[in-house]
Amino acid sequence: MSGPLLRKLRAGIVGGGRGAFIGSVHRIASQLDGEAVIVAGALSSDPQNARESAAEWYLPRSYDSFETMASAEAAREDGIDFVIVATPNHLHFPVAKAFLDAGIHVMCDKPLAYARAQAEELASIASRGSTLLGLTHNYTGYPLVREARARVKAGEIGQLRKVLVEYNQDWLMEPLELGGQKQAAWRTDPARAGKSCCVGDIGTHAAQLLEFISGQRIQAVCAELSTFVAGRALDDDANMLLRLDGGARGTLVCSQVACGEENALAIRLYGSKGGLEWRQQEPNTLIFKPPGAAPWQILRTGRGETGMAAAAATRLPSGHPEGYLEAFAVLYRNFIADVRRKLAGVPTLGDYPTAEDGVRGLRFIDAAVASSASGAVWTPV
Amino acid sequence: MSGPLLRKLRAGIVGGGRGAFIGSVHRIASQLDGEAVIVAGALSSDPQNARESAAEWYLPRSYDSFETMASAEAAREDGIDFVIVATPNHLHFPVAKAFLDAGIHVMCDKPLAYARAQAEELASIASRGSTLLGLTHNYTGYPLVREARARVKAGEIGQLRKVLVEYNQDWLMEPLELGGQKQAAWRTDPARAGKSCCVGDIGTHAAQLLEFISGQRIQAVCAELSTFVAGRALDDDANMLLRLDGGARGTLVCSQVACGEENALAIRLYGSKGGLEWRQQEPNTLIFKPPGAAPWQILRTGRGETGMAAAAATRLPSGHPEGYLEAFAVLYRNFIADVRRKLAGVPTLGDYPTAEDGVRGLRFIDAAVASSASGAVWTPV
Amino acid sequence: MSGPLLRKLRAGIVGGGRGAFIGSVHRIASQLDGEAVIVAGALSSDPQNARESAAEWYLPRSYDSFETMASAEAAREDGIDFVIVATPNHLHFPVAKAFLDAGIHVMCDKPLAYARAQAEELASIASRGSTLLGLTHNYTGYPLVREARARVKAGEIGQLRKVLVEYNQDWLMEPLELGGQKQAAWRTDPARAGKSCCVGDIGTHAAQLLEFISGQRIQAVCAELSTFVAGRALDDDANMLLRLDGGARGTLVCSQVACGEENALAIRLYGSKGGLEWRQQEPNTLIFKPPGAAPWQILRTGRGETGMAAAAATRLPSGHPEGYLEAFAVLYRNFIADVRRKLAGVPTLGDYPTAEDGVRGLRFIDAAVASSASGAVWTPV
Amino acid sequence: MSGPLLRKLRAGIVGGGRGAFIGSVHRIASQLDGEAVIVAGALSSDPQNARESAAEWYLPRSYDSFETMASAEAAREDGIDFVIVATPNHLHFPVAKAFLDAGIHVMCDKPLAYARAQAEELASIASRGSTLLGLTHNYTGYPLVREARARVKAGEIGQLRKVLVEYNQDWLMEPLELGGQKQAAWRTDPARAGKSCCVGDIGTHAAQLLEFISGQRIQAVCAELSTFVAGRALDDDANMLLRLDGGARGTLVCSQVACGEENALAIRLYGSKGGLEWRQQEPNTLIFKPPGAAPWQILRTGRGETGMAAAAATRLPSGHPEGYLEAFAVLYRNFIADVRRKLAGVPTLGDYPTAEDGVRGLRFIDAAVASSASGAVWTPV
């Protein structure tokens, strides 16, 4: 795991200062396996918040702007090896581009950009191969999500027929944005979030998870987006029919007004030879449903019947629950290993979401919004 | 409960002979509360099977045809008070009509008829008021389904926003009909099942459950029906978007090829003030999801916080699980009580599904099939 | 199933009149499969209640006393084939004895008697073989309890090592008996309940279930009985260590003051080659736990991997939940089949709890009470 | 949280080298919140393993022995602020003592020592107050364990009556120690593990969790320890009755031969006004069981109804599962905060298990072993 360089890698972070839940997530996840240490940051667009946040994290170097940070770190001999982008959506593009242009590898929060053209430009830069661009579609880091993917790929559920994926929350069921809640404000603001709130924020996670596990692409969607909270400019709920390019059919539902739901991402896949079910809130259980009225099997993280893909993402013996941070950290571990490979001049593996997933995400948002605007007509992704 | 007549009512049954699972269900459910006894039957179109089945059930009177039975029973002083229709779909109409015409009350399996015009004719007959026509949409007999309805009606979840209803099975995931399995044969045969297999058989249950609990009607569907098993003439899977007439949006999914699923009927409702979740396979639990990050409440059959509607459908103290037969028997109990009221000349209550639900079911099938045939366009129900 | 007699059997019942929950349970369960009909009763020691209860059940014959009933029914040509004893504990003995002496088969509620000597006397009568004596340890009627027993017997969990059985409720957590609640009054009264309340009422169910599934006998107990509600004369809670005669060790806990618990009977068995877990409140699921870190298997009522023993106790396809009444009715079905065999002069099968279980139950109560009285010392059962 | 010192604290570790699962746990947990960094280690008694393990963790300083490490680090200006003891049980005492004597704070794995006298000596040293001694009874770090304790303390379940605590595993159900599995070898070896295997390893966790949540002490145990795997020198299973000093009664069961169980630590508490249930394998759910047949409440990590104690141990919004490592890290976070207080000369808070818990643990082991040896007699703890 440690690679050819006998030191921890140096990381920087943009965004994620005090009050931003996702900042701490990136901080903990990127350092969890002891393969990297964050040494620099531009933690906020507010200079004082940036400095104080950096001090709280004991960062040696704090910057007032990401542009300064990119050039300064690129110039240092002990500059950062990679940067974490943890800003609101509309800044993903300029920040990621600045660091990629400076030759610094980038791990970016999702969605990859505010709009599809930006995502495609970042993908284009990444495709040149000199710098790595990872995307924290973190749910793919769970061991049992990887187990599910491996089983589908190995043909254990046969020909995929039906998929049911959902991601329901309730945190926007009241107009929080009117009360100044910061995250609610930018997520419901078209100028900062993009074309969609609910589909963009969590629908993309569901879509990406489905494509990750199934190995198929969503070919077309027939979607209805809704806004249930009066006065909100973007959708807070969506229901859609799906067609996958391998012939499967299904639904994707997401909501931020589903009263009582926390973070209920769940996926069910049914094939000609088996079924699979996984729920993010109890992530250490994967149900395998064999055909022929055979009993369901309860697969567990770290348990014998799971395979290499899951094992590589597992740190503890079974029964010691691993959670959201550990899954997030799996992406970082794999990304950091690739940065080490890059530094060592050996081929990378890319075992984490990349710009390609990011472009898919923006295309998915565009298709869903367009389908809904036309009254729910099939729209290719 | 016992009503004005100091005797058990006399019931007859058409269909449900040996090998028909649903026949025993009707037999047990109709007699479970000791309010009726089955004394006559035309249990099969095969005379020998009819006679032998009747003997196995210790029935005093066995008939070779339902027509004979209807006239003979109507003529007897001790003739049956009501008849149970437990035949395949295409016979519901002629059988029900024969008994209604003979002045005998009818409890009919669902769907009410093979096609919508038949259902409407039966509804028209029933609307005259001389004979009762009940429909065994049995899932509405569960105590906690009634609790859910009562809570929605009382405003406990506020304005309904999102509904997710599903009914997944796997019993048709292989082409059983080719191997001569009797029920599979008629269910997948347009001549006997009607326009749809999966939507007609189980989609209607899901739709009726949703309308029952929500108190709203499905205004329109945007549906895609699929046939995954090669050579099958009817659908074995469906996904649809829903619009309810009170403004809620949602999805209805059903499948008979969902590998590993038994009888997974489930419903979730989300309103502006709360959520509800119920799953048929663990029917004694209803989850109430309050707003404001308050804890989920686990409501249980027979437990203190459930109300009158649930209590009226409950026979045992909490912790003594009641199941499918008990729920089925609730409909019979209420129907029989209405037959007693009819016999006593007092107004009936109608606390069970009726011809109106039956017509709704056929309209739902028609709309889903039409929407899918047009490539998933919104179609009014 | 129907046997040699081409009629439903005739049953009578003693006790179980209005207000007695268990009376309705016996009524429904004994008639559920259509193999018997209750035609006579002495439903209450209060004559008016007896008569009115009988009328509510549409019974042709109502008696003021069980003695009269036993002699009158024995004298009738169309007298009852068997009687159900559903009285409080202290009456089990005289009632059962009266009917056995009159040559009428008996199905008795548990515990078999008020005290061990009575139970042994009934067992002695039953051992003569002319009349059948069944005992409604109803939990053994669940299909998956029978599946568990079959698997243990077939060696699927290997040598049994550890057993954990529990039965927790909360219905006596307040002094209901002071408020005149009828069942609470007799259950906490040594004169009517016997030596123990909690152990006698529910501990015996747990013990019998353990012996039924494991095929081993509880050799000795080390018990501590407690009375948590002030002023109560009998125990309302117990904890005990167990030694089984096949070498297994374990615990049995029961409580009637376990706040929030309904009827939480559960059993876990661990052997050298597998484990099993079953919970009464979700009785259609049995977990099989294989060795070698293989995944748990979720066995379900009516599903393919369960065997003949379970199938014989199952009425519905999987996914159609069967509950408490159906399990209860399995005992009746098997008992009635034996009554038919007796009437036909063929050997009986005895596939239901009998007087032997009843004697075991009283010995278990005696041992637990004695062990606790001595400060928790190992006491043979 | 960061305290008066504007730097991460420096930590060292003894034991935990390659192949030792618990070493990585300590490494990740101690650094998870970014408040400390491990800079030195004596990772193995095998010098090469020690060096290579240190290199894999990028440790600046590796030592061949803990004695050398203690003196060298104490002498450095930039020496470690605290040490982590992650060795087998028999080394806890000498290692902890060496560092405490050198004035270095100690976080020790549990049990605190091989035998009670050693634990008492360490407690005596710690009681002098110059150096801190923490103990990683990690399950107390879960947010909902803290919520449970807070609710008990606030009187929300009233007077505690019954407790059921269990910790079942299966990892020793075969004689792994014969095959050279390292951890199995020392855990089943009296010379290295102490008087007990199962009770010492996991029974102590269960006991400590019970005392932590209930706020009561286990006054006496009536225990039966078993050895089911032939040839094993220590117990691999135990069942015991408990008396708590506040009057509650209950059972503690633990097993390392419970086929199919992973790490099934669970606790249920029943009081005069409520009940609580928590299961380690789904640690983000705590069930509160109100009296009066009110519905169970599903409390969740990070959700509104949980209080300050839980919130202080929570890092993520609800629905983002936190696991074993996060709970472990809570103890480190609180311990490190106390080390900062110590360095700043302000009073410490001690919000983590300490030497006192360690002594309790050894007394509990002694009592269980003695009780069992006497044939299960009540033995004071």
Q: What is the pLDDT of residue C74?
A: 98
With CA atoms as reference, the chain B residue closest to C266 would be: B319
Contact D270 C257 (CB under 8 A): yes
Structure tokens, D90: 């028999």
What is the pLDDT confidence band of residue C5, given thresholds at 50, 70 and 90?
low
Bridge partner list, B79: none
Angstroms from D124 CA to nearest CA on chain B: 44
The reply to whether D143-316+361-380 shares the fold of D9-139+327-350 is no
- Interface residues of C toward D, Cβ cutoff 8 Å, are 157, 161-162, 164, 166, 168, 170, 173, 222, 224, 226, 228, 237, 239-242, 249-251, 253, 255, 257-261, 270-275, 287, 289-291, 296, 375-378
With CA atoms as reference, the chain D residue closest to B293 would be: D304
- Reported ipTM: 0.95
- B300 close to B318: Cβ distance less than 8 angstroms: yes
C95 CA to centre of own chain:
17
C16 phi-psi bin (left φ>0, alpha ψ -120 to 50, beta other): left
With CA atoms as reference, the chain B residue closest to A275 would be: B259
The number of C-beta contacts closer than 8 angstroms across C and D is 133
Mean pLDDT of B268-272: 98
Task: Name the percent of chain B lying above pLDDT 70.
Answer: 99
Q: What is the pLDDT of residue B5?
A: 63
The pLDDT tens digits of the residues spanning B64-119 come to: 999 999 999 999 999 999 999 999 889 999 999 999 999 999 999 999 998 999 99
Contact B6 C55 (CB under 8 A): yes
Residue C134: C-alpha distances to residues A193, A335, C10, C126, C131 (Å): 71, 69, 16, 9, 10
Q: How far apart are CA C295 and CA A144, in angstroms?
A: 13
Angstroms from A51 CA to nearest CA on chain D: 13
Q: What is the pLDDT of residue B101?
A: 97
Angstroms from D17 CA to nearest CA on chain C: 25
With CA atoms as reference, the chain C residue closest to B57 would be: C34
Contact A258 B250 (CB under 8 A): no
pLDDT for residue C80 is more than 50: yes
Contact C295 A318 (CB under 8 A): no
Q: How far apart are CA B101 and CA A77, in angstroms?
A: 96
Going from N- to C-terminal start, the domains of chain B cover 9-139+327-350, 143-317+361-380
pLDDT for residue D3 is more than 50: no
Chain D positions touching B294 (Cβ under 8 A) are 304-305
Mean pLDDT of B322-349: 97
Question: Over chain D, what is the mean pLDDT?
Answer: 95
Query: Residue C305: which of A294, A298, A305 has the nearest Cβ?
Result: A294
Query: Residue D262: which of A261, A319, A322 has the nearest Cβ?
Result: A319
What is the pLDDT confidence band of residue C6, given thresholds at 50, 70 and 90?
confident
Structure tokens, D42: 């004596």
Length of chain B in residues, anyone?
381
Contact A263 D317 (CB under 8 A): yes
Mean pLDDT of D338-344: 96
Q: For domain C9-139+327-350, say whether CATH 3.40.50.720 is its number.
A: yes
Annotation: CATH topology of A143-315+361-380: Dihydrodipicolinate Reductase; domain 2 (3.30.360)
Contact D299 B295 (CB under 8 A): yes
Chain B positions touching D293 (Cβ under 8 A) are 303-305, 318
What is the pLDDT confidence band of residue C2, given thresholds at 50, 70 and 90?
very low
Chain C positions touching D170 (Cβ under 8 A) are 270, 275, 291
Query: Residue A294: which of C292, C294, C304 has the nearest Cβ?
Result: C304
pTM for the full predicted model = 0.97
Per residue, the 3-state secondary structure of chain D, as one string, reads CCCCCCCCEEEEEEECCCCCHHHHHHHHHHHCCCCEEEEEEECCCCHHHHHHHHHHCCCCEECCCHHHHHHHHHHCCCCCCEEEEECCHHHHHHHHHHHHHCCCEEEECCCCCCCHHHHHHHHHHHHCCCCCEEECCHHHHCHHHHHHHHHHHCCCCCCEEEEEEEEECCCCCCCHHHHCCHHHHHHCCHHHHCCCCHHHHHHHHHHHHHHHHHCCCEEEEEEEEECCCCCCCCCCEEEEEEEECCCCEEEEEEECCCCCCCCEEEEEEEECCCEEEEECCCCCEEEEECCCCCCEEEEECCCCCCCHHHHHCCCCCCCCCCCHHHHHHHHHHHHHHHHHHHHHCCCCCCCCCEHHHHHHHHHHHHHHHHHHHCCCCCEEC
Pick from D154, D149, D156, D153: which is nearest to D271 by CA?
Answer: D156
Chain B positions touching C261 (Cβ under 8 A) are 319
Contact A32 D33 (CB under 8 A): no
Choose the mutation target among C202, C281, C298, C303 for the interface with B, i.e. most B CBs under 10 Å: C281
Angstroms from A245 CA to nearest CA on chain B: 15
Mean pLDDT of A80-86: 98
Contact A323 D323 (CB under 8 A): yes
Q: What is the pLDDT of residue D20?
A: 74
With CA atoms as reference, the chain D residue closest to C262 would be: D293
The pLDDT tens digits of the residues spanning B126-167 come to: 999 999 999 999 999 999 999 999 999 999 999 999 999 999
The number of beta carbons lying within 10 Å of the beta carbon of residue C124 is: 11
What is the pLDDT confidence band of residue D19, given thresholds at 50, 70 and 90?
confident
The pLDDT tens digits of the residues spanning B189-221 come to: 999 999 999 999 999 999 999 999 999 999 999
The pLDDT tens digits of the residues spanning C184-193 come to: 999 999 999 9
pLDDT for residue B1 is more than 70: no
**How big is the CA angle at C324 (ends C320 and C325), to the nearest 5 degrees?**
90
Which CATH number is B143-317+361-380 given?
3.30.360.10
Q: Where are the alpha helices (DSSP H) in B155-295?
A: 182-187, 190-193, 198, 204-214
Per residue, the 3-state secondary structure of B6-72, as one string, reads CCCEEEEEEECCCCCHHHHHHHHHHHCCCCEEEEEEECCCCHHHHHHHHHHCCCCEECCCHHHHHHH
The number of beta carbons lying within 10 Å of the beta carbon of residue A18 is: 15
Q: For domain D143-316+361-380, say whether CATH 3.30.360.10 is its number.
A: yes
DSSP-based three-state secondary structure for A94: helix
Counting Cβ atoms within 10 Å, is residue D129 exposed (0-12), middle (13-18) or buried (19+)? exposed
The pLDDT tens digits of the residues spanning A113-161 come to: 989 999 999 999 999 999 999 999 999 999 999 999 999 999 999 999 9
Q: What is the pLDDT of residue D267?
A: 98
Angstroms from A148 CA to nearest CA on chain C: 14
Length of chain D in residues, anyone?
381
- Interface residues of B toward D, Cβ cutoff 8 Å, are 288, 292-300, 303-305, 318
Query: Residue B275: which of A228, A260, A289 has the nearest Cβ?
Result: A260
Mean pLDDT of A281-300: 97
Angstroms from D103 CA to nearest CA on chain C: 45
Which DSSP helix (H) or strand (E) runs through C367?
Answer: helix C355-373
Angstroms from A167 CA to nearest CA on chain B: 12
Length of chain C in residues, anyone?
381
With CA atoms as reference, the chain B residue closest to A374 would be: B377
pLDDT for residue D173 is more than 70: yes
Contact B294 D304 (CB under 8 A): yes
Higher pLDDT, C114 or B265: B265
The number of C-beta contacts closer than 8 angstroms across A and D is 118
Phi and psi of B219, rounded to 5°?
-80, -40
Q: How far apart are CA B191 and CA C206, in angstroms?
A: 53
Query: Residue C293: which of A293, A296, A305 has the nearest Cβ?
Result: A305
A259 phi-psi bin (left φ>0, alpha ψ -120 to 50, beta other): beta
Q: How far apart are CA B326 and CA D218, in angstroms?
A: 46
Contact B318 C262 (CB under 8 A): yes
Chain A positions touching D56 (Cβ under 8 A) are 1-2
Choose the mutation target among A170, A261, A270 for the interface with B, i.e. most B CBs under 10 Å: A270
Angstroms from B291 CA to nearest CA on chain A: 6
Q: How far apart are CA C84 and CA C31, in angstroms?
A: 12
- Cis ω on the peptide bond leading into residue A111 (within 30° of 0)? yes
- B217 close to B234: Cβ distance less than 8 angstroms: no
- Cis ω on the peptide bond leading into residue A88 (within 30° of 0)? no
What is the pLDDT confidence band of residue B4, given thresholds at 50, 70 and 90?
very low
Question: Over chain B, what is the mean pLDDT?
Answer: 95
Structure tokens, D381: 């703890």
Cα-only R_g, chain B: 20
**How big is the CA angle at D375 (ends D373 and D378), to the nearest 5 degrees?**
95
Pick from C12, C17, C13, C40: which is nearest to C182 by CA?
Answer: C17
Task: Name the percent of chain D lying above pLDDT 70.
Answer: 99
Contact C305 A295 (CB under 8 A): yes
**CA quadruple A107, A110, A112, A113: dihedral sign:** negative
Query: Residue A303: which of C295, C300, C304 has the nearest Cβ?
Result: C295
Question: Over chain C, what is the mean pLDDT?
Answer: 95
Contact D28 A24 (CB under 8 A): no
Contact B300 D295 (CB under 8 A): yes
What is the pLDDT confidence band of residue A18, given thresholds at 50, 70 and 90?
confident
Chain C positions touching B1 (Cβ under 8 A) are 56
Contact C169 B319 (CB under 8 A): yes
Mean pLDDT of C340-352: 96
Contact C21 B317 (CB under 8 A): yes
